Amino acid sequence: MTDTSNNLEILKQYKQALLKGLNDRQLEAVEALTGSTLVIAGAGSGKTAVLTRRVAYLISKGQTPGEILCLTFTNKAAREMNERVRDLLQSIKIQLPYVPPWKEDYLTNPLLATFHSLGVRILREFGEKINLRPEFSILDLDDQKKIIRRIFKELNVDKKKIQPNLVSYFISQCKQELLESKDSRRVSKDFLPIFHQIYQKYEAILQESSIVDFDDLLLKPYLLLKANPGVLEILRNRWPHIMIDEFQDTNEAQIELIKLLQPYDLLRKDPQRSLFVVGDDAQSIYGFRGSKIEIILNFEEQYPGTEEIILNQNYRSTQKILDLAEQVLTHNPKQKKKALFTENETAVDVHYYTARNDKDEAEFVIRTMAQLYCMPEEAEESSGSEDDIHLDSSDAQAAPTPQRSVSNDPVSSMFDLYLDDESFSPSASLQNYQPTSWSIPANIDWGKVKELDSTAVLYRTHSQSRAIEEAFLQNRVPYKLVSGTRFLDRKEIKDVMSMLKFLANGNDKVALRRFLPLVLTGVGPKTLDKIMAYLDDYEYPLPPKHQEQLLHLINKLQTVWTEHTRLIDLTKDLLVASGYARYLKGEYPNKDEYEARMENIGEIFSLMFPFDQDDQIPLAERLNQFLAQVALMTSQELNEGDDKTPKISIMSLHQSKGLEFETVFLVGIEDGLLPHINSLIEPGGVEEEVRLAYVGVTRAKKHLYLTSADSRITFGQIKANPISRIFRPFLDTYVKRTK
């Protein structure tokens, strides 16, 4: 056999290894290597397998790894895909050299990153062309609001009339629509003239301090590439193959950036280029963040001749769950049809429970978990019992009508409009509630029920977690509440990060403003303004006492900076030299609380550790890369020292996206909650609520329980809401009622 035939045989074996186990449509997607391809990936259809195998397949066919750019929406997803690609390539004896993710490498490794981290890379490399220093800082939301409050003070804006959050939202909307302050009046919503003035001042403050906010990481690369054809040419040649995950979540700025990097005309002319996007229009639920479902629905209009591939074989859920999910989507006629199916032979009914109130709803969750996990045989027997409650129209008509509460509260009274809905009849259980045949067992050691880790309670609004948490606490059920509060948002963490930001970027006056009052004695708001004026112009008449304090501190910081080559050692010394450790002791005199704060700061060292493994990279560069990585992290990417006790997860539907659980309780399926009250007056609002319900349903692998309550406390009053219009038509057909 010749060398050529040997090589062909090896390539054939490699191809078989990389494509093994893919179904026909997944295979078709992986082998679509040129032009534009849109993959509509239904829930649980293996989209990550398609993306990672396509990257590995391109490399196995001789594509230079660094010429592949794969974009997603979380650092966690990017890391996981990177690991899977490396494992796939190792299986066919292709070893990519390890390069730390913060190092620039556009040759030996594909770049799997988020849109925002791509923006950081572009701005670090080329930002000086738009007068942005390479060591720029990334502003967080807390410091952004502080800047806006300062501008309020300058412009004599009454915070009671205009909320800083609304101004922050306005600025974000402008930037997501690629509008600088000079163009902000073109934003699609009506805002007061003062909003545009604030945006202009806000933009100037950031420019002066070499700071960018989160939205700038998309806006500024777009503006840079539009104004610099030479840079655009470099990046187009760098990444001939571009892939995008979660394409349904893209906003205007992101799609316009992609259209610059991979324009249709260039894609059509060059057969060695490709644009490969994967998403599920049915899971487009981030309209409030600026994502537009029209981007995925109209992709073929932007890129004519696009090949569309639909992945509709589900590897996660039972068919009964998928059938309900498909029915939910019938409310939205514009969705792309998928007809999800599975070869999973497990047949477990989807159940629905009408609770008397939110307390009963929470107790139902615990009773059901006890049946499933502690008495599995009884649970199987009862799941198809004829004793399940089936409320027909006669039951509903005979039921008493709940007492309507009278309120002048405009917020809570919004929920009353549902009581006028002709299709609403409260269930017979509202006042004639009969307790279940057995109560919650008191002797269950929930800490040993390992199935809790694969169970979740999902809700539409965070206020719904209150009753759930109370019931779990009373019954000693371990749980973890997945909230929007990040480890990095704790005060002491933000204080230390502000000092590190100032060391990295001496122009960062926002960071300086944060920590100076903490480490200098006798510095209040007025003195701080004088200090900042003095730093702008050293002729400013700052009292000698404060001059001396300030210069002494700056000298200490410079000494700390020059004496260290490792980030961890630098930060430890910084805590003492700056006086911040002393400040914490004074602020938290209780020993346990002080030590807890210091332990939190110690968690930063765990994040720094990988950056200290290569002393060949200058400390300044490593610090900048560390600060950028931390700024782009989300709460779900941080390990907060959780113990190994099994815990049930409690989270909002938005937070559940991308996750899966063996058992899911979707609580509060009521009009006013899901769909949310606000969705009824927002264009496309109800459609997005339908997609949100679809996401919730498809998180479940085996057991799915839907619950509503005949009454619940809302805004301090007892309210009665009808069963959700999203699920109402499918009860008793696709869902089995239970008690």
Q: What value does the mean pLDDT take over residues 538-566? A: 88
Which residues are CB-contacts of 434 (< 8 A; sequence separation ≥ 6)? none
Tokens at residue 667, please? 């609580």
**Please, which pLDDT band fits residue 209 given cuts at 50, 70 and 90?**
very high
Structure tokens at 436: 């279940």
pLDDT of res. 172: 92
Distance CA 692, CA 707 (A): 16
> pLDDT tens digit string along 105-128?
788 899 999 999 999 999 999 999
CATH architecture of 3-127+227-313: 3-Layer(aba) Sandwich (3.40)
What pairs with residue 714 in β-bridges? Answer: 717
pLDDT at 296 over 60: yes
The structural architecture, per CATH, of the domain 315-392+455-484+654-739 is 3-Layer(aba) Sandwich (3.40)
- What was the pLDDT predicted at 611? 87
- Amino acid 178: pLDDT: 94
Residue 722 burial (CB count, 10 A): 18
662 is known as an active-site residue = no
**Residue 401 clears pLDDT 60, i.e. is over it:** no
Position 641 pLDDT exceeds 50: no
Of the listed ranges 345-359, 452-466, 478-492, 591-605, the least confidently predicted one is: 478-492
Point out the catalytic residue in the list 52, 72, 114, 283.
283
Distance CA 369, CA 553 (A): 58
> Position of tokens 């001939």?
240
Alpha-carbon distance 276 to 280, whole Å?
Answer: 14
pLDDT for residue 390:
31
Beta-strand ranges (E) seen in 394-551 are 455-459, 479-481
Asked whether residue 503 carries a pLDDT value surpassing 60, the answer given is yes
pLDDT of residue 18: 87
C-alpha–C-alpha distance, residues 372 and 312, integer Å: 30
Reply yes or no: is the peptide bond before residue 683 cis, omega within 30 of 0.
no
In angstroms, rounded to a whole number, what is the distance separating the alpha carbons of residues 312 and 316? 12
Give residue 393's pLDDT band: very low, low, confident or very high (50, 70, 90).
very low
What token pair was written down for 697?
């349903």
Query: d(Cα 636, Cα 559) in Å, to the nearest integer?
Result: 36
Q: Predicted confidence band at 397 (pLDDT cuts at 50, 70, 90)? A: very low
Do the beta carbons of residue 311 and residue 40 sit within 8 Å?
yes
Name every residue whose Cβ is closer than 8 Å to that of residue 661 and which is 6 or more positions away in sequence.
454, 455, 456, 649, 699, 700, 701
Select the more confidently predicted residue: 181 or 482: 181
Average pLDDT value for residue range 157-175: 87
Catalytic residue among 699, 701, 702, 719: 699
- Return the structure tokens found at 237: 């040649």
Q: Which two tokens stand for residue 435?
A: 């307790």
Determine contact, residues 367/374, Cβ cutoff 8 Å. Answer: no
Average pLDDT value over all residues in the chain: 84
- Rounded to an integer, the average pLDDT of 450-471 is 90
CA distance linking residue 642 with residue 645, whole number of Å: 8
Options 177, 246, 281, 323, the catalytic residue: 246
Q: Which helix (H) or strand (E) holds 85?
A: helix 75-91
Residue scoring higher pLDDT (187 or 636): 187
Indicate the fold that domain 137-209 takes in CATH.
Arc Repressor Mutant, subunit A (1.10.10)
- 259-293 confidence digits (pLDDT tens): 999 999 999 999 999 999 999 999 999 888 888 99
**Nearest CA-CA partner of 726 in 676, 655, 665:** 676
Q: Supply the pLDDT for residue 188.
A: 65
Strands 211-212 and 241-244, bridge-based pairing:
unpaired
Choice between 394 and 47, residue whose per-residue pLDDT is larger: 47
CATH node for 487-633: 1.10.486.10
More confident position, 586 or 667: 667
169 touches 145 (CB < 8 A):
no
pLDDT on residue 718: 76
Cβ atoms of residues 248 and 281 within 8 Å = yes
CA-wise closest residue to 214 among 163, 254, 242, 164: 254
Determine how many CB atoms are found less than 10 A away from the CB of residue 274.
Answer: 22
- Closest by CA to 344, choosing from 326, 327, 321, is 321
Give residue limits of the domains in the chain: 3-127+227-313, 137-209, 315-392+455-484+654-739, 487-633
Q: Could you give the C-alpha distances from 180 to 194, 215, 655, in angstroms and in order?
A: 15, 11, 31
Catalytic residue among 135, 215, 245, 323: 245
- Cα–Cα distance between 242 and 236 in angstroms, integer? 10
**Which of these is catalytic: 47, 316, 356, 702?**
47
Q: Is 354 left (phi over 0), alpha (psi -120 to 50) or beta?
A: beta
Higher pLDDT: 158 or 257? It is 257
Judged against a pLDDT cut of 50, whether residue 148 lies above it is answered with yes
Please provide the DSSP assignment of 341-383 as one string.
B---------EEEEEEEHHHHHHHHHHHHIIIII-HHHHHHHT
Interval 679-728: pLDDT, tens: 888 888 899 999 999 999 999 999 999 999 998 876 556 778 899 999 99
pLDDT of residue 79: 87
Position 230 scores a pLDDT of 96
pLDDT for the residue 369: 95
48 as an active site residue: the answer is yes
Average pLDDT, stretch 553-569? 91
245 is catalytic: yes
Q: Do domains 3-127+227-313 and 487-633 have the same CATH topology?
A: no
Q: Report pLDDT for 384.
A: 41
Helix or strand holding residue 717 (H, E) = strand 717-719
CA 659 from centroid of its chain's CA atoms:
12
Vertex 358: Cα angle to 355 and 361 (nearest 5): 45
- State the pLDDT confidence band at 642, using cuts at 50, 70 and 90: low
Q: Is the pLDDT of residue 366 over 50?
A: yes
Which among 15, 28, 34, 48 is annotated as catalytic?
48
* Length of the chain as a residue count: 739
Q: Pick from 675, 681, 636: which is nearest to 657 by CA?
A: 636
Mean pLDDT throughout 416-441? 41
Q: Please, what is the Cα angle at 650 between 646 and 656, to 5 degrees?
A: 110
Q: Is the pLDDT of residue 425 over 50?
A: no
> Which is nearest to 235 in space by CA: 138, 125, 130?
125
Residue among 692, 665, 698 nearest 676 (CA): 692
pLDDT band at 9, cuts 50/70/90? low
Alpha helices in 303-452 (DSSP H): 319-329, 358-369, 376-382, 393-398
The pTM is what? 0.82
582 catalytic, yes or no?
Answer: no
Looking at residue 101, its pLDDT comes to 63
Alpha helices in 103-163 (DSSP H): 115-126, 141-155
Percent share of the chain, pLDDT over 70: 86
Closest alpha carbon to 585 in 506, 665, 519, 659? 519
pLDDT tens digits, residue range 13-25? 777 888 888 999 9
